[in-house]
Structure 1
Amino acid sequence: MSCAAKRKRGGKSSYRFRTLPEVLPPPPPPLPHAPPQDPLPDITPWVQGNCGIRGVHHFESHRPGPHIAITALMHGNEYAGAGALAHLLATPLTPTRGRLSLIFLNPDAYAAFDPRHPSRFRYIEEDMNRLWAPKLIHSTHTSQEMQRVRELVPVIDTVDVLLDLHTMTWPSAPLLLTSMAERNLRMANTLACQQADPPQVVLDQGHPTGPRLIDYERFSTPSGTARACLLEAGQHWTRSATQHSLSMARAFLAQHGMGPPLPTTPHQGGINAVVTDCVEAHTAGFAFLRRYTGGDIIESAQTLIAVDGMDEIRTPYDNCMLVIPNLRPRRGHTAVRLARLL
């Protein structure tokens, strides 16, 4: 086998090999489709917010302390986090110090969501979670999501600790994603240890198509102090994703004195891994050899996991974790991230 076309941002990759694949993969599976296991959350009572910014709710203690925030609905079809926020807002919230903010990020995308097509309606015009770059925010670029980011930046610029709630299209174990700053890993590990079934904790260097909210410079610069992590709570429409979202939100609030304390039953943290490679589909024929699930660990290096036209995609090292595999990636989109266990 000859090795060629080793491409990766900033250098060569160790997972892509040019050859004529000897193994033909099965056809890609259809997009997952299932009715929501619970009624969709009604955010109508909360969508106007309470501070003059749509979808933003502030609660003040009038005592010194950090600004804590939980965000949801970055993507309109990821409504488990919205259910968690609606549940929290339905009960009195009285932080003992600092400020608490609960934020519905893209309520317009959620308003367009159709449960008959649960994998659609991530956004109206463009992915809001690729727009958190200061140069882009201050540029002339515009879209509905870009305008919404600009509305929210004055709030985000004051947040000290942030939890961003998401779900996934394909079946996957829950995980906490953080940027590479050590303080964010510590935050995620603390949250994971407070869960009865600790999620995996995965560090990565950002998304190749644009910075996410957790990559915003306030949370990701090495010299900063503000912290953020992102929860991927499971598959979009499942009851377990809603339960994971609410459980993590409650643990986050309790950790910062913003909610009732939880029973002290600490658990050992989940798997820690660092993303080393972001595998992009170069052709429309990208296909995995089998239906992998997020969190799967491939024991042996050089295991063939997918083909992409004339390229073979192989694991670059032993015990390689597959992070959020997309079993039907479009050309130019991320198919899977490869992570090394720490």
Structure 2
Amino acid sequence: VMGTPVTFTITVRNNGNINVSDVKIHFPLPVGFTFIGFSATSGAYDNSTGLWGNIDTIQPGGSAVLTVTAIVGRVDPDKMMQILILLDGSGSIRKQDLDIIRNGFVSAIGNESIFPQDGYVELTLILFGGNAGQQTCKVVLNPTVVTNETIDSVLSTLNTITTMPGFASTSCGFLLGCDTVTASSIFTQANRHMVLLITDGKASLICNIDGDYEADSPQGMSPLVAAVVARDYLIDEFGMNPMDDEIDVLAVHITDGSTYSWFKNEVVWPQPGYFAPPFHAELPLQGFVCNATDWDQFPNVFKNIMTNVLNRVKINANIVQASASDPKKVNNNDGVYIVAQSS
């Protein structure tokens, strides 16, 4: 909770078979956190540089522990974030469901304590659904950086969402979403990217990577495979990084276990996927599937997802110097996300 103390414990362990000396760890507190103090079993921590050094030689199987205490503050994102929402607007979505969807978007995205309006987040929304031989997706909200100046226009546009009667053309949504976001004037693979697929069922139409976003004949490929191929295209084009980026699913009114398994094991990214809540805090990230048993639950589930994704604070600790290092570089750094709350 903002304004209260939080304690971070960093342990560096020697898993090898030789002594390790001259170890330095970089552990910078996020901007906005107020440093209180530290304790260490060895060495000293300099908050101004984020360096923990002068650590005694660590013998095989041994370790050293640093504890840092700070006050939680409001933290601005450390990089631009581009959010892509892929909304299933196919024939199974009723008019009353659509009203709930609109209200859920407006309620969460219009709430500045949940969805920042300070220019750090760009939002894009794609609607998909249709029939074979037709264009089966469209851009509802072009990439828009959300600010106090643009928020009214964003909310007004979200209130215009309609349906696209027909079948779930999930692959078309991924492809159009990818091409729309990468065409944004602020796009770079260095940005943080989050894709949220909102749907009430499995993919049921195929869209090839041919630029027309129309449903295509199967030609030996199932709609489920086509959706994953399109997802992989997006991952490659975005240059997605498991330390920053994710593809998640908000599944609504689904009772078929195989559909949930497909979302968790094939669609979300990074793998392995998991069911949320609770939301995992460990890095690297894992894609998640959230469940709303019906559309009435959608606003609350969507709000919880946005709260988690947009209010994370990334905490990293990295070994920056040592007489010997682990050949598996992933073992030389670690990190978690925490979510700062106002109350």
Q: Which has the higher strand share?
A: 2
Larger Rg: 2
- TM-score normalised by structure 2 residue count: 0.32
